[in-house]
Amino acid sequence: MQFRTRGTPEQIPPNHPRPDAALSPAMTVVASGARRRALRDGDRHVDTAHLLHSLVESDTAVREVFDGAPQLARVLGYLVQRSIGYGLRWQAAREDSGAVPVVREPGGEGWSPPAAAALDRAARRGQAHAGGLDLLAALLADPRCRAVEVLERAGVVVARLAARTEDRLVAGEPPR
């Protein structure tokens, strides 16, 4: 079954497998927000930019790893422009950076391959639940994904953001 973004998230069959099963409750909200954003944008698949947008909007720990409010505002500006159809345009094209194999498992349906891989990588970090920083680290691990493209266009030095994110994870920032 192919997850189509026509309709509402409530119309997804309850037995539809999702790659976000091991995410914390807060990260489940992020994944749901990304699904809603894809629906609203008319995109067929949830991609890494949808995940980044939802993550930045809803997770305080993620916002704290950025270089202050001006940088965060630029990132959100690019993401908002994209959601209103201005600037970076990827609508109707499935994200595939080539960095991860195309997801063929049922749980990957409705997600671009890099988005499904990021959710899976975050979920496998060894904790009971993956949090926002886990998901951000997973997004940053694919240098050719849409989320990284947005960050770079907003002037973020991705390597520095990735290092700060990893430092927080190593320090034991609990998932939210």
Q: What is the 3-state secondary structure (H, E, C) of the chain?
A: CCCCCCCCHHHCCCCCCCCCCCECHHHHHHHHHHHHHHHHHCCCCECHHHHHHHHHHHCHHHHHCCCHHHHHHHHHHHHHHHHCCCCCCCCCCCCCCCCCCCCCCHHHCCECHHHHHHHHHHHCCCCCCECHHHHHHHHHCCCCCHHHHHHHHCCCCHHHHHHHHHHHHHCCCCCC
Domains in the chain, ordered, with CATH? 22-170 (1.10.1780.10)
Q: Identify the pLDDT of residue 82.
A: 75
For the segment 38-97, what is each residue's pLDDT rounded down to a tens digit? 888 777 788 899 999 999 999 999 999 999 999 999 999 988 887 766 544 554 455 555
Lowest mean pLDDT among 2-11, 23-32, 60-69, 89-98: 2-11
